[in-house]
Structure 1
Amino acid sequence: MNESEKIPAPLLFQNTDLLRNLESGRAISQKQLINLWNSHHFADGMVYVQLRHPKYKEDILVWAHPEPCGGDSMTCRWPEESREFIENADILSVIFTNGLSLLLVPSQLKDVERDYFTIHLPENGYVLGQRRARRYLCKDIKVEVVQNGFYAQGRLVDFSALAFSVEVSPEEVGSFRWFNAGKPSTIHLYRNELMVFSSSCKCIRQTSDHATRNIVFSPTVSQLSQGFKKKFRNPRVEVNPLPKITFDHPATRKKIQLDVYNLSTSGFAVHVAAEEDVLMAGMIIPDVTINYGGTMKIKCKAQVLYRGEDKKEGIHYGFGILDMNVVSYDRLSHIVINVIDPHIHVADEVDVNQLWEFLFESGFIYPKKYKHVQAYRHIIKETYRKLYRENPEIITHVTYQRNGRIYAHMSWVRSYERTWMVHHLAARPFKDRRTGLQFLKQTMRYFDGYYRLPGVGMDYMMFYFRPENKFPSYFFGGFARHFNDPRACSLDLFSYLSYPTSDKNQQIPAGWSLESFMPSDIDELDRFYNNVSGGLLLDVLRLGKEQEDVESLSELYARHGLKRSYQSFSLKEKGMLKAVLIVNQSDPGLSLSDFLNGIKIIVNDTAGLPWETLSVAISQLVGCFTIDKIPVLIYPSSYLEANGVPCEKNYNLWILSAHYGREFCEYMIGKTKMRLKLLIRTLFRIYLKK
């Protein structure tokens, strides 16, 4: 209790046995007593004054404000709310607490007035009792108690690492009869409308009032279940120097700082001494800062998942990270993965010249691709400088480097509102040793924490690759075939051709129209796509869905000096939908194959849409592009062949729902551990276009 809070009513003092056995308590010297008293005053704490009621001869506890002590006396001021109780009452003792111990000051009255009293400084004070965990008074924390059909709400009174006290009222007066103190209850605590605790708890004791009760709860479990069991646990590492976490305690609002003794991409663990313990399994901390080396600060939202004790280390807690943004996750991953393999770098600043050298030497940029992009190489260089030197939150990447030279590289770019696209995937040998498998394993460790975080904005991951490319076909395509559920992981084959942007604004035939996609068009498109594929493409495109009340993809890119947008159009004959054209725009080279700077087409009526008409529709839309030719991807891939149009090549569009990210990571990590001869011959091949 401090001076800024409302003063509660006096309490009936029932622990008189404590006073009869003062000598059994631990005595403290005058010097210790003065220091504890002044520390309590410095923290704006208040004290209890034990009074003997003049009429009923009962002992009551009344609040008072302590004054600083520097001489041979101690003074307390009466708050206005306490003054009506002190007239003719005997002052017996002064009691205060540091949260862990109860400290009693025997009272020999020196002076008493209406608004204050003074006692002689005693030779000794007494420590009465020692709590296993320090208790803190709390304010402005809302409580919900749920037990089957019983529901009550109120406030958190005090908190310790082992138990907490609440004052609650049920929905209806008298419904405490439905509260079973012998059964667990689910307790939710809220601070500023944010949940800061959720766990199953047992009732230790309660008052017997019908309308409002004080109930003391203690957690029933020391470890929370995450709802799923992982086949491969994210590796924990010990980091030197020790990272530290700092946060405002959600219940007490005190600043907490703890050393982290192990760290992973999904959580961390700390040790605490019993007298410093302020945590509890189920506690949610909205704003944790991980401080590494005094220079790197990583912010996250975390929850205490387990509590354990051992004789050597004392009490230890494990935290799970609930959320963080892309930049923070990249910093954390770099620390963890760099301990496992110091040659792997996560979202570290990349020497762009080394990256270009790697992309050419690894074969990722093959002659035909370079011919396509070379005219815009200066623009592309600037785009890559922004992406890989400034590390904005629209891209993340992992590299395998030795002395600054890159031997493997994988990156993802934010491609749609809630979707990330594999941007690069390439590797080359190091001293005749293949780097691909070990590198892929570590990137999956990275991805395993990445997709879980709401702040990252990944509901889906997508990847374009040629069917004949063995590396992605084996791993990515292999998972789609293995899982065999297109609503979890889909694989759609597109035909590809280059379309010149000079052929623009051709006249669309009579009876045909090209108009903005309308929500009313989605039913027909849904029926077609679900019958032909049943995959995730329409979920990624979010056709017909309103923009969420957050920063849009275009705004996010613009904030970093880049361009990204997409618009959808419906091609119709006499009002009947024949195809949907999605116009993707970005800076040239954002994707070296320009999949984000071209047109994607879904033809829902192959027989009813002549190529000539579709080509005219494309010409109506190419005027917005600044490059000579754009890629056009058409689904289904059979459309061009059915219309006698040569197809340059085919691409698989692989899409994974993040709900199945755990299964994907387990599959990929399992595959990297295989040592079959066929795997050795094929998996080390670089992601090449043939």
Structure 2
Amino acid sequence: MIENLGERGICNDTALCESRVPVEENRPSWLFRHNDLIRDMMSGEYIKKRKLTNILNHIHFKGDPLYALLKHPQYDEEILAKVHPEPCLGEELVCRWDPAYRGYKLEKYRFEYLVINHDQSIILAQPRILTLNDDGLTMQLPESSPVTSKRQVPRFQCNHVKAELMQNGFQASGELVNFNAHAFRVRLQAAASSALFYWFKPDLPVTIRLFKGDNVFYVGNCRHIYQQQNGSGVEIVLSPAQVQGTQHKEQMIRNPRKEKLQSLSAIFEHPFMEKTFQRKIIDISTSGFSISDKSDSAVLVPGMIIPKMTVTYAGLLKISCKAQVVYRKDESSIRFGIAILDMGIEDYNKLNQLLNNVPTDDEDMINEVDTEQLWDLLFDSNFIYPAKYKHIQAFREDFQTTYKKLYNDCPAIAKHFTYQKDGRIYSHISLLRAYERAWMVHHHAARSMEGSPTGLIVLKKMISYLYDLRRFPSAMLDYFICYFRPGNKFTDRIYTGFAKGKSNPRVCSLDLFSYITHTVKDAPSQLPEGWSLQECSNSDLWELEQFYMHHSGGLLWDVLDMKNHERHTLADIYAQQGLHRKWQAMALHFSGELKAVVIKEESDAGINLSDLLNGFKVFVIDPETPMDAILAAVENITRVKSTESYPLLIYPAEYTKDKDVDAEKDYIMWILNAQHANEFIEYIMKRFRMNIT
């Protein structure tokens, strides 16, 4: 229905505020008392009939209404009535009354003006009436018509956006009618009208939530500007408080922004209007970007969430994300800061690759990898030492096939960084999504170049890559994990040093495992009498959790996430890439008592060169458990692929020493809670005098 004009706040202008959603009421709210508006318009600019015709056809094309200003035949009241135009050929215009006015006998009223709301302006045409009846009216267009100038702060109509207002004991629901850069107009349901005046306090802040279905577009505190009650309920105008979101506060560490990138734009569907806009990107990093806008066309509000945002480069590369407006700066043009809330890892890789290829003085970071050169690095740097090669040589062809797939076709589960010069790889590090919400850092290998170490170069790039990725829910990156041998000076300085410095296993944990390789027998050993093996029950998992938290207090139980194993989707993601990954917990009992838990891990051969994801993790709960029972248990667990031998990681490591088991080596499993990633980065920066950004 029609709103009154010329009110305080955002309605102190010359535009109609028409809802797209009809409101049923006893009578239309259509009284018009703004003759001063007409007088002002008559002294302003004029448009010709040809241009007016094109505007009328554009309005018809969009399905928008016009308004007829009528005068009551008896009471001399002026009213606005909504009409719907037919296509116009330039001389005559036919309009139909809106169905809501059926029975009001508008044909008895005296026609005065045709009011046209177009492009933030009002056109006040005075055509000659040819016919006026109960269906509508036919008129002859004038040669020219007055038009107002655009309002200083444009206002935009909204499309089916729901609104909730909350203030102490007051709560009301309605819809967002329109908005501008500084205010929201909300129409509340009639049922809330009486409560509004009793419980709502105009001098106190009110929280507004704007949403559509499950998508929330805005939540924030506002101050009251004014309100108006009519037959359809209450309309209230609120101005959002200009407060920056704490989740987007300035960070001490942030990836550098790249500026003056040509052909880089942001395309987004506005959540309030469901219209698509395109704006030039001023600067950008993996955490967000800024765009410029004109004051008379700015459609963004700080705090607004944009579910569908696309960064496009020259129309060729398109990167999708979910974003939020975090600030507005009024300069020569308006500058909006946009924070990326979430994006798929494949889109993140595209953005990361785009920014890495902007010309800088940085190292020669090349994403494409010649796997022959990679094998040369791994052998030359002693990453693949003789004993390790003996273990993997029987499956070298499978390794090469797996690596070609990982490095070329699997961005959802794998990422790598190499430092290359003249086609030769000098350092390498890679990431693998090893568990549902944990990524594994592995295969960190380097050789010197002209006497200079290169391992820190790829470490720096990996940290820079992960710093923003960890914030995105789609990345499933709650934990970082890494395996390394005790006594390695480099890993001790990086990983062990940080964990010991924090002294909090819920921030960063270190778990020591003994590693043995068990040779497969032709027939599996029988479990000793009294021993049984079955899938872990809920009580077994609970006891395992108590055991691990008592001995370690670390993060491995969180990484394995065994309680929610049925909801895991990682196996499906690997399968989509033509790869295999899963893990399962089996309980070893003696006379009904839990003695050990064997976690069978399965993956493709060579996905990790030490096969740490393709063997068994054994948690020995009772230190008196015989080793023979453990080996019989793992031999009886069905394997996906037959192998000559398989690795066992046994926890706690003291078990093998107490049982005089000939363990080949020990491995430390390092796990970092991603919420503390910035603390780890700061540690690396200080420890190695490195500038990550």
What is the TM-score normalised by the length of structure 2?
Answer: 0.91
Q: Any residues of structure 2 matched to 1:535-614 within 5 Å, and which?
A: 535-548=554-567, 552-606=569-623, 608-614=624-630
Give the letter aligned to residue 650 of structure 1.
D
User: Are 1:136 and 2:156 an aligned pair?
Assistant: yes
**Matching residue of 2:369:** 350
Q: Residues 620, 7 of structure 1: CA spacing in aligned structure 2 closer, same or farther, 3 A cutoff?
A: closer
Give the letter aligned to residue 629 of structure 2.
T
Deviations 1:17-76 (A, max 9, x none): 101223443333334433333332332221111111223322111111123343334432
**Matching residue of 1:684:** none
Give the letter aligned to residue 162 of structure 2.
K
8 Å contact kept, 2:204–2:223: yes
Structure 1 residue 341: Cα displacement: 5.9
Structure 1 residue 639: Cα displacement: 0.8
Structure 1 residue 178: Cα displacement: 1.9
Question: Please, which of 515, 522, 534 is the counterpart of residue 553 of structure 2?
Answer: 534
Q: Any residues of structure 2 matched to 1:153-192 within 5 Å, and which?
A: 153-169=173-189, 174-176=194-196, 177-192=198-213
Q: Is 579-588 or 27-36 further displaced after alignment?
A: 27-36
Deviations 1:524-575 (A, max 9, x none): 2222212211001111112233422xx6222211111111111111112211
Q: Any residues of structure 2 matched to 1:514-529 within 5 Å, and which?
A: 514-529=533-548
8 Å contact kept, 1:105–1:125: yes
Q: Residues 56, 274 of structure 1: CA spacing in aligned structure 2 closer, same or farther, 3 A cutoff?
A: same
User: Are 1:427 and 2:443 an aligned pair?
Assistant: no
**Matching residue of 2:123:** 103
Structure 1 residue 10: Cα displacement: 4.5
8 Å contact kept, 2:173–2:192: no
User: Are 1:628 and 2:644 an aligned pair?
Assistant: yes
Q: Any residues of structure 2 matched to 1:488-499 within 5 Å, and which?
A: 488-499=507-518
Where does the alignment leave 5 or more consecutive residues of structure 2 unmatched? 1-16
Structure 1 residue 669: Cα displacement: 3.6
Structure 1 residue 259: Cα displacement: 1.7
Q: How many Å separate the matches in 2 of 1:406 and 1:37? A: 66
**Matching residue of 1:666:** 682
8 Å contact kept, 1:83–1:115: no
Question: Please, which of 343, 359, 370 is the counterpart of residue 324 of structure 1?
Answer: 343
**Matching residue of 1:639:** 655
Q: How many Å separate the matches in 2 of 1:436 and 1:343? A: 12
**Matching residue of 2:303:** 282
Structure 1 residue 621: Cα displacement: 2.6
Q: Residues 547, 622 of structure 1: CA spacing in aligned structure 2 closer, same or farther, 3 A cutoff?
A: closer
8 Å contact kept, 2:442–2:483: no
User: Are 1:259 and 2:280 an aligned pair?
Assistant: yes
8 Å contact kept, 1:137–1:252: yes
Q: How many Å separate the matches in 1 of 2:418 and 2:561? A: 32
Structure 1 residue 418: Cα displacement: 1.6
Q: How many Å separate the matches in 2 of 1:162 and 1:227? A: 21
Q: How many Å separate the matches in 2 of 1:41 and 1:130? A: 21
**Matching residue of 1:650:** 666
Q: How many Å separate the matches in 1 of 2:677 and 2:550? A: 25
C-alpha RMSD of the superposition: 2.5
Give the letter aligned to residue 572 of structure 2.
E
8 Å contact kept, 1:464–1:652: yes
Q: How many Å separate the matches in 2 of 1:466 and 1:69? A: 81
User: Are 1:308 and 2:333 an aligned pair?
Assistant: no
Deviations 1:159-188 (A, max 9, x none): 333322111249866321222222222211
8 Å contact kept, 2:187–2:233: yes
**Matching residue of 2:244:** 223
Q: How many Å separate the matches in 2 of 1:325 and 1:282? A: 22
Q: Residues 351, 532 of structure 1: CA spacing in aligned structure 2 closer, same or farther, 3 A cutoff?
A: same
Deviations 1:281-324 (A, max 9, x none): 1111112222123222111111111111102xx11111111111
Question: Please, which of 493, 515, 520 is the counterpart of residue 474 of structure 1?
Answer: 493
Q: How many Å separate the matches in 2 of 1:70 and 1:315? A: 40
Deviations 1:348-381 (A, max 9, x none): 4432222222222333222222221111010111
Deviations 1:424-479 (A, max 9, x none): 22233334333333432232121111111111112222110112122222112222
Q: Is 564-573 or 435-444 further displaced after alignment?
A: 435-444
**Matching residue of 1:371:** 390
Give the letter aligned to residue 177 of structure 2.
V
Question: Please, which of 353, 356, 360 is the counterpart of residue 337 of structure 1?
Answer: 356
Q: Is 451-460 or 610-619 further displaced after alignment?
A: 610-619
**Matching residue of 1:362:** 381
Give the letter aligned to residue 579 of structure 1.
A
Q: Is 68-77 or 538-547 further displaced after alignment?
A: 68-77
8 Å contact kept, 1:174–1:211: no
Q: How many Å separate the matches in 2 of 1:66 and 1:135? A: 23
Q: Is 663-672 or 215-224 further displaced after alignment?
A: 663-672
Q: How many Å separate the matches in 2 of 1:420 and 1:350? A: 21
SS in 2 for 1:368: helix
SS in 2 for 1:21: helix
SS in 1 for 2:378: helix
Deviations 1:75-131 (A, max 9, x none): 322233235441311111111222422222234433323323233333432233532
Deviations 1:610-643 (A, max 9, x none): 2222222232237544221211111111110011
Give the letter aligned to residue 406 of structure 2.
L
Number of residue pairs the alignment of both structures matches: 669
Q: Residues 506, 170 of structure 1: CA spacing in aligned structure 2 closer, same or farther, 3 A cutoff?
A: farther
SS in 1 for 2:587: strand
8 Å contact kept, 1:167–1:214: yes
Give the letter aligned to residue 610 of structure 1.
P
Q: Residues 98, 501 of structure 1: CA spacing in aligned structure 2 closer, same or farther, 3 A cutoff?
A: farther
Question: Please, which of 297, 303, 316 is the counterpart of residue 318 of structure 2?
Answer: 297
8 Å contact kept, 1:490–1:656: yes
Q: How many Å separate the matches in 1 of 2:281 and 2:248? A: 25
Deviations 1:319-354 (A, max 9, x none): 1111111111111111123335665658x4432222
Q: How many Å separate the matches in 2 of 1:162 and 1:197? A: 14
Q: Residues 65, 173 of structure 1: CA spacing in aligned structure 2 closer, same or farther, 3 A cutoff?
A: closer
8 Å contact kept, 1:467–1:651: yes
Give the letter aligned to residue 387 of structure 2.
K
8 Å contact kept, 2:193–2:234: no
SS in 1 for 2:504: coil
Question: Please, which of 453, 456, 477 is the counterpart of residue 458 of structure 1?
Answer: 477
Q: Is 527-536 or 608-617 further displaced after alignment?
A: 608-617
Where does the alignment leave 5 or more consecutive residues of structure 1 unmatched? 676-690
Q: How many Å separate the matches in 2 of 1:4 and 1:309? A: 31
What is the TM-score normalised by the length of structure 1?
Answer: 0.91
SS in 2 for 1:589: coil
**Matching residue of 1:506:** 525
Question: Please, which of 387, 390, 406 is the counterpart of residue 409 of structure 2?
Answer: 390
SS in 2 for 1:381: helix
8 Å contact kept, 2:349–2:411: no
Deviations 1:249-302 (A, max 9, x none): 111111111221211111111101122211111111112222123222111111
* Identical residues among aligned pairs (%): 40
Q: How many Å separate the matches in 2 of 1:624 and 1:22? A: 81
Give the letter aligned to residue 204 of structure 1.
I
Question: Please, which of 124, 141, 161 is the counterpart of residue 121 of structure 1?
Answer: 141
**Matching residue of 1:38:** 57
Q: Is 20-29 or 9-18 further displaced after alignment?
A: 20-29
